[in-house]
Structure 1
Amino acid sequence: MRLIGIIGSIVSLIWVIQSCSNQGVQGSNFSQVYGKKNVTITPDYLVYHHARDKSTLHFQFNSTQVLYARKDKSQPYQSKVKIHYEAYAVDNKKELVDSSSLMIYDTVEKKVTKLINGKIDLSLELGKKYYLRVFATDLNRNNTFEKLLMVDKVNESSAQFYLIRNKQDSAIFYNNYTIDRTPVIVQSEVNKGKKIFAYQYFRSFPIAAPPFAHPNHNSFNYQPDEKHEVAINEAGKFEYLLLDTGFVHFVIDTTQRKGLTVFGFENNYPKIKNVFGMVPPLRFISSNSEFDELNNSENTKKSVDLFWLSKAGDEDRGREVIKRYYNRVQDANDNFTSYVEGWKTDRGMVSIVYGTPKSVRVQRDEEIWYYGEETNSFSLQFTFVKVDNPFTQNDYKLIRATSYKSSWYRAVDIWRSGRAYWAQY
């Protein structure tokens, strides 16, 4: 079972107050969120509204991501991590509405691999949406990773009014997907005593089309394939068995579509650990005949090896380009998972083929990616608009244009020549 467990202990938690830069969301470059260059610590985060006026930011990171140091051999090892957040109203990205910091010290006699967990209380009003900038700093390395979270506290129907835990070990379910049949406990204190409906969908979705193409999208049929009714007890909890295929959408009010959704993806997700997971992402850089041959091959491993060897020319070069390509696929899964696997999305497609943008600007309901200097008219620019999707807050569609055709084919040709493409202007 691949669910995140709560392991290890935090030796001491110390609240500290830090002055805020107050530069807001509007002028910040968030490319590091997707690129993770020179970053070692990358925590998982989860926002949970456990009351109308109370919210919590849960986080966890692996001890292998931080540096444990000691003054001399007679002293124990200690890691020092600071989690700092800044909350901004969506309708005013420069208005700082809340901020705080948490220091985490973990002291050990011997270095061990474990997950370190913690939480910070948030002061956010009901009825609003917020941007949450979260900074995780390994103070022993002076290394910081920034993450931008969307906080939806408009009403009690939103997904962040629910918290999922593994029934077996009470581990918090940080991701909105599972890869096996998993019994869970779902918490929703604000909805205690109510009935909740579980709509199950077993649908397939296409991968993103090239940025210059304008595919026809059929309207989604919201009629569920299966429907179950569950009671939330007076403690604000209910049990459910999550499936490893399709997705389940929990709603309180059947006249609305907003609720909690959990998706079932293939084994090992978001990692690419077997040859069968290597084939589908090749659709972006393979011809129709090549892709058909890969899918219909009796020996998939051999066919994938031959595909990359035919492009790279030799095994060493082939191994290098394979590593770079599938690292991007996994990064896309980590960053862009929505109602489909991250690599299938518009942002996933662009990040895989073109690489990490030099800068990312967040506007209201859109992201603008720049490859090259923002002020350079020759730089490549992609604009992704947020989709009002009841199943996910992470669905963004690319504004497509025929002008992308030349850059797309240039990028694909370089991949097909056995080299990783980086769109730098």
Structure 2
Amino acid sequence: MNCKTSRLLIFLILFAGTTLQSIAQKTLSSLNQTLRYSRYSRLSLKIIPIKVSETSYKIQLQVEKIEENPDYNSFSFTYSILNSYDEEILSDNTSILTTDDLKYDTDRHWVFEKTIEIPKSTETSIAFFTALDTRQGDEYFYSIDIKSKFVFDQPNFGAYYANNVGFDQNYLNVGESLLFKSYGGPNLHGFYYPISLEVPYPPMETKPSSVPKELQVIDQGDFLELIPKSFDEIGYYFIQSDTTAGAGFVLKTAHEAFPKVKDWDEMVDMVTYISTRKEHEMLLEAEDKKKALDSYWISLTRNADTAKELIREYFRQVEFANLLFTDFKEGWKTDKGMIYIVMGPPQEVNFYLDREVWSYGGTNESSRIRFTFARVKNILSPHYYTLNRSRAYQPVWFKNISIWRSGKMAF
């Protein structure tokens, strides 16, 4: 039995058995996608759609290799095209991906490519990608709306690394380049927004977030596809092939150290989530930020070794938030990033068409804490979410901050 046949047999056994028996009774909205935000994932999945025609889309199904030197034969991959988040996921609407479908195998990625047809009259279509780790049964999921009421349209071009693998990060370090390939002609158009956005209000603050009164936009004009384009300023860029249409590609550019912390000033900004207002104001006003931060961390724990561990853990959370949630804001400044840093990775993650729900703790429904992120239609990003804030979050929020400040938080 060859390797390919063996992998298919493993998958089919699982499909008929416990693993896919449960999937057959499930919908996209009922799947727990917590591994998508886990700090210990072996893989990270991504789907990159490009519109080829009114009814045809090319999708890159990308697997980032987080585990060192992973064995392809330890995993089984499938994809589905669903018409709603409530459609049952069955063998009939699930396709197995094999090595014949593997377009690229690089040091960092396995990449599959598929062309799918979606009738023009279809209002909602979702691409769903799964990876099953056959060693311990872990299942990784990723989904993206190809068409829905939250998507203006898909761009008819894509951004790529130099090796033709689609750009799958949430950010680009300033000074780096990307290659663009278009189905709509050789010219693309860029807009640059030199803006630094504010830190979000805590989850129990119900007043509206502050909004910039003016948003500076710099029209950078046309540039050509198939020629590496460098992004040299910190902020975010919006790329379009047709400036009169709604489809585009948003790119956040960040300093060279991102997603890690750059300097002491940035560290001061980031501790706002676990600081009192007075503490944070003193840090901001301090001339020697390093010395002030050292005193701050020691004052929280009263122990130098505990302080070092607390610093390491807190900024590891910041780094993960930047990796996972950066859009046109740095990940740590988003609502999801804020919750992730203070509360840790959620124990349960459920996606719906109009929202994403994170659940924490509790042995029953009444004791669980849930954070609901409402999906907002936004031309810059089809996956932009804002937290539904409530004063009811205040006890658990302050409790977790107290745990952080005592140096006992660990994920």
| Cα separation, partners in 2 of 1:364 and 1:154, compared to 1, 3 Å | closer
What does the per-residue CA deviation read over 1:251-277, in whole Å, with 9 as the maximum and x for residues that have no partner?
Answer: 344344431111111222223465454
- 1:188 is aligned, of 182, 204, 219, to 182
Equivalent-residue separation in structure 2 for 1:63 and 1:417 (angstroms): 32
**Structure 2, unaligned stretches of length 5 or more?**
101-105
Instruction: Kindly state the Cα deviation for residue 44 of structure 1 after the two structures are TM-superposed.
Output: 4.6
1:34-88 deviation line (CA, Å, top 9, x unaligned): 2345x3x1235242326232422242433743556xxxxxxxxx86333222332
Asked whether 1:47 is paired with 2:45, we answer: no
Q: Give the equivalent residue in structure 1 for 2:83.
A: 89
Change (3 A) 1:375 1:132: farther
- 1:82·1:138 contact (CA, 8 Å) conserved in 2? yes
Q: Which of 299, 315, 319 in structure 2 is aligned with 1:330?
A: 319
CA shift, 1:206, in A, is 0.8
Residues 380, 420 of structure 1: alpha-carbon distance in 2 compared, 3 angstrom cutoff:
same
Deviation at 1:312, TM superposition (A): 1.7
Structure-2 residue corresponding to 1:4: none
Q: Is the 8 A contact 1:35 1:356 kept in 2?
A: yes
Report the Cα offset of residue 249 of structure 1: 1.0
Structure 1 residue 286 displacement after superposition: 1.0
Letter in 1 for 2:144: M
Alignment of 1:49-64 (within 5 A): 49=50, 51-52=52-53, 53-62=56-65, 64=67
- Change in 2 beyond 3 A, CA 1:117/1:83: same
Q: What is the CA–CA distance in structure 2 between the aligned matches of 1:192 and 1:247, rounded to whole Å? A: 24
SS in structure 1 at match of 2:144: strand
| AA of the residue aligned to 2:159 | I
Secondary structure of the corresponding residue to residue 213 of structure 1:
coil
Match of 1:281 among 270, 275, 288: 270
Please state how far the C-alpha of 1:228 moved relative to its aligned partner. 3.0
Aligned partner of residue 37 in structure 2, secondary structure? helix
Contact 1:354–1:421 (CA under 8 A) maintained in structure 2: no
User: Under a length normalisation based on structure 1, what TM-score does the superposition of the two structures give?
Assistant: 0.78
Matching residue's letter, 2:33: F
Query: 2:28 touches 2:89 (CA, 8 Å); kept in 1?
Result: no
Q: Which residue of 2 aligns with 1:9?
A: none
User: In 1, are the aligned partners of 2:170 and 2:323 still within 8 Å (CA)?
Assistant: no
CA change 1:116–1:199 in 2 (3 A) is: closer
Where does residue 200 of structure 2 map in the other structure?
A: 208
Aligned-partner Cα distance in 2 for 1:370–1:138: 24
Q: Does 1:371 align with 2:374?
A: no
Equivalent position of 2:220 in the other structure: 228
Could you give the per-residue CA deviations for residues 308-335 of structure 1, whole angstroms, max 9, x where no partner exists?
A: 2211221222232223222222222222
The one of 117, 125, 141 aligned to 2:118: 125
Is contact 1:55–1:122 with CA below 8 Å preserved after alignment? Answer: yes
- Equivalent position SS for 2:43: coil
d(CA) in 2 for partners of 1:358, 1:334: 19
- Give, in angstroms, the shift of residue 389 of structure 1: 1.5
Which residue of structure 1 aligns with residue 103 of structure 2? none
Partners of 2:179 and 2:229 within 8 A in 1: yes
Q: Which residue is 1:73 aligned to?
A: none
Q: What is the TM-score when the length of structure 2 is the normalising length?
A: 0.80
Q: Cα 1:64–1:379, aligned 2, differ >3 Å: closer, same or farther? A: closer
Summarize the alignment of residues 4-403 of structure 1 with structure 2, pairs less than 5 Å apart. Answer: 16=8, 18=12, 19=15, 21-22=23-24, 23-37=26-40, 39=41, 41-49=42-50, 51-52=52-53, 53-62=56-65, 64-67=67-70, 80-90=74-84, 92-94=86-88, 98-103=93-98, 114-125=107-118, 127=120, 128-139=123-134, 141-142=135-136, 144-153=138-147, 158-159=153-154, 161-166=156-161, 170=164, 172-189=166-183, 191-192=184-185, 195-217=187-209, 225-230=217-222, 237=226, 239-272=228-261, 275-373=264-362, 375-403=364-392
Gaps of 5+ in 1: 1-11, 69-77, 106-112
Distance in 2 separating the partners of 1:104 and 1:322: 44
Task: Determine which structure has the larger helix proportion and give its number.
Answer: 2
8 Å Cα contact 2:155-2:247 kept in structure 1: no
Deviation at 1:188, TM superposition (A): 1.9
Check conservation: 2:43, 2:67, Cα contact below 8 A: no
| Stretch of structure 1 that moved more, 280-289 or 244-253 | 244-253
Quote how far apart the aligned CAs of 1:362 are. Answer: 2.0
Secondary structure at 2:189's aligned position in 1?
strand
Seen in structure 2, the aligned counterparts of structure 1 residues 381 and 46 have a Cα distance that, compared at 3 Å, is closer
1:409 corresponding residue in structure 2: 398
* Residue 409 (structure 1) shift: 1.8
Please say if residues 129 and 151 of structure 1, whose CA atoms lie closer than 8 Å, have aligned partners that are also in contact. Answer: yes
- Give aligned-pair identity as a percent: 21
Equivalents in 2 of 1:50, 1:255: separation in Å? 16
Whole-Å separation in 2 of the counterparts to 1:170 and 1:27: 34
CA distance in 2, matches of 1:244, 1:44: 28
Distance in 2 (CA, whole Å) between partners of 1:80 and 1:95 is 23
- Partners of 2:409 and 2:35 in 1: CA distance: 20
Distance 2:176 2:221 in 1: 18
Q: From the superposition, tell whether residues 303 and 61 of structure 1 become closer, same or farther in structure 2 (CA, over 3 Å).
A: same
Q: Counterpart amino acid of 2:59?
A: T
Letter in 2 for 1:186: F
